[in-house]
Chain A
Amino acid sequence: MPIHDVGYRRLKNENNSSLFRWLAICRIGVQLAWKSKWVKRLMLAAWLPVTYWAAGFFLVEKAIIADQLSAIGEAGSFNQFSTLALTESITNRFWIFPGVNDLQEVFRTGDIPEIRNTVWRWMLMTFFRYPQAIIILFLVGFIAPSLISQDIRSRALLIYFSRPISRLEYIWGKLCVPSIFIILVTTLPALCLYIIALLMSPDISTLPQTWDIPVRIIIATFGLVLPTSAVALMLSSLTQETRFANFSWFAIWGLGHGTWLTIALATSLQMGRPLFDPAVMQSDIVTNWSAISLYNSLGSLQSYIFGFETFAESWRGIISLFGITAFSMTILYRRISSPM
């Protein structure tokens, strides 16, 4: 008999509260997802844009300081970095992005706290809306489709549901897996960027000027996490084959955005203007069909949360996301609750 063979012993320990048993499901999901080389590469790639945006914050703060120095006649070599020069540069390079007009207006006011708050919000909104949204598309596409489909294929649902775990705890635990990765590539870098921007600002007075930004970042994270994770898990619960769920995930994004782009292209040809011309983008048909694209709806929600769109402008996207999330969660719950 081996020396460590202790036979069967009674278990003497305090169990965890049942409120946190979903954590085990989440932890094992993250652990398994992290084994993928592609997930690690994507995580690395997701942090690369931070350097570009950090450089952007540096230029913004330099321009604001230049304005302050020139106001007291001490600008010197800082003259070329004025907010006026910056706004022209942004307008020329990023005219396609939403909220550029708001930036121009706020720069004209010359109110430094207001300029700082608006520019920081705009930069973080573009950070969420462009590089990170693309990364999330791929990251969730790699992680979430296997989460439930694999459990169905290997009949692991019996392992979960023969334990004191409810359906909702299972779903919550699984939802947390892609959510954690999304938080790691959006919220965390966005908060890091905010801290970098604070460190680059001249003094601590910038904190009360920009206190709302971390709150907006957290709300924007929820806006990203819930619909994307719910849709991905719903697709995962519909099949035993992970590749079908993978394909459906990319198809939903691709087809939705592709259809909207086709509508926008047709409209631009009809109007005789470039595709992303504001007149085309703000035309009734293009805005009405915008919600067909998950990407546009998420973008619209981000613009609303960061204060660059009003509810009247973004309600289609918000309602669409709410509907998609509710539908996905209902299907997901029904699939998980079906008799085994």
Chain B
Amino acid sequence: MRALDGIDLEVRAGITGLLGPNGAGKSTLIKLLLGLVQPTSGTASFLGFDVRKQGRQIRSRIGYMPEDDCYISGLSGVNAVQFSGCLSGIPKTEALRRAHEILDFCDMKQERYRMIDTYSTGMRQKIKFASAIVHDPEFLILDEPTAGLDPEERETLLKRIHLLASQMGKSVLISTHILPDVQAICDDVVILAQGKVRLCEPLVNLNRTTAPSFCVRALENIDQLAMVLEKDNVEVIKNPDGTLTVASHSSELPEIIWNAAFQSGVSIQSLIPARNSLEEVFLSTVTDSPSTEEEN
């Protein structure tokens, strides 16, 4: 079985979201980049280093926050972060000072002195995040960073990640299943499926639709408006929330919609450009992948 096959991926600086269904090869790709698993064939380089031969150089430049709930039993939070710093080569005293600074940054207060075994999932996530950034890495790999966090903590963590990328110049790769997280902070999106890269695009491009479209909300008789629009050779989709998505390659689409409203006597409440949601893009990319079609 090939977990990854013919991956050719170039990631820009900034925040990149790594998406894919379960078993797509996301975790394998991350472990490959870290040198934790070796490719059976081919080559791979990361930050200019060969992942086969220069794993140590790569790992000294990156911070990795694993998805798994991993910790060293018996250590306090601050000691765990200090230990991560020491493993990256920071001298013991400096690592302790740095651990306190990072835990302040992560808004972890006195609970940092408690045994890590007694922490909640959210607190362990904070410790994992702090351990990943304690040595000031160039590149951050975050595997499901917001898993198990409550909405407030999730938002705070996303802000921290965004701050690291925007103000401290870190490149970040986030592997997640939570699409709103990607939509909130990512600059680029990579979608993996069946071990292959199916899509690698800036998020801005994904937010544009192939044909210009508008989302129309009317006060009443939306079906009548739809009938008139369909007569004008415009593609009309009725949404479950009672709105219409109207698409056409015509550059005069707004005028067409206003005319149709006039003809049908319908008052338009709102007319806004429609955007493809990331979820739609994700589902269409994963569903359209050749292997899925073969399986189907």
Given the complex, which residues of A lie within 8 Å of B66, measured CB to CB?
155, 158-159, 162
Chain A: CB-nearest residue to B86: A24
Q: Does A35 contact B (CB under 8 A)?
A: yes
Chain B residues 90-148 with CB under 8 Å of chain A are 90-92, 94, 98, 101-102, 104-105, 107, 131, 133, 135-136
Cβ of B59 and Cβ of A162 under 8 Å apart? yes
Chain A: CB-nearest residue to B91: A16
Cβ of B89 and Cβ of A162 under 8 Å apart? no
Given the complex, which residues of A lie within 8 Å of B190, measured CB to CB?
none
B37 smallest CB distance to A (angstroms): 5
A13–B68 alpha-carbon span in the complex (Å): 30
Of A5, A6, A11, A163, the contact of B84 (CB 8 Å cutoff):
A163
Q: Does A79 contact B (CB under 8 A)?
A: no
Q: Does A9 contact B (CB under 8 A)?
A: yes
Of A8, A13, A32, the contact of B94 (CB 8 Å cutoff):
A13
A18–B86 alpha-carbon span in the complex (Å): 11
Of B56, B133, B167, the contact of A164 (CB 8 Å cutoff):
B56
Chain B residues 159-190 with CB under 8 Å of chain A are 160, 163-164, 167-168
Of B68, B74, B104, B168, the contact of A32 (CB 8 Å cutoff):
B74
Q: Does A10 contact B (CB under 8 A)?
A: yes
Q: How large is the interface on B (under 10, 10 to 19, 20 to 34, 35 or more residues)?
A: 35 or more
Chain A interface SS verdict (over half) = loop
Given the complex, which residues of A lie within 8 Å of B92, measured CB to CB?
24, 27
Cβ of A158 and Cβ of B70 under 8 Å apart? yes
Q: How large is the interface on A (under 10, 10 to 19, 20 to 34, 35 or more residues)?
A: 35 or more
Chain B residues 1-46 with CB under 8 Å of chain A are 31, 34, 36-37
Q: Does B282 contact A (CB under 8 A)?
A: no
Q: Does B262 contact A (CB under 8 A)?
A: no
Cβ of A155 and Cβ of B84 under 8 Å apart? no
Contact with B along A1-41 (1 / 0, CB 8 A): 01011111111011111100100110110001001000000
Cβ of B59 and Cβ of A163 under 8 Å apart? yes
Given the complex, which residues of A lie within 8 Å of B89, measured CB to CB?
15-18, 21, 164
Cβ of B36 and Cβ of A339 under 8 Å apart? yes
13 examples of A-B residue contacts, CB within 8 angstroms: A6-B105, A8-B105, A8-B167, A25-B87, A28-B79, A154-B70, A154-B72, A155-B68, A155-B69, A162-B66, A163-B60, A164-B88, A339-B37
Chain A contact residues, CB within 8 Å of chain B: 2, 4-11, 13-18, 21, 24-25, 27-28, 32, 35, 150-151, 154-166, 339-340
Chain B contact residues, CB within 8 Å of chain A: 31, 34, 36-37, 56-57, 59-60, 64, 66, 68-75, 79, 83-84, 86-92, 94, 98, 101-102, 104-105, 107, 131, 133, 135-136, 160, 163-164, 167-168
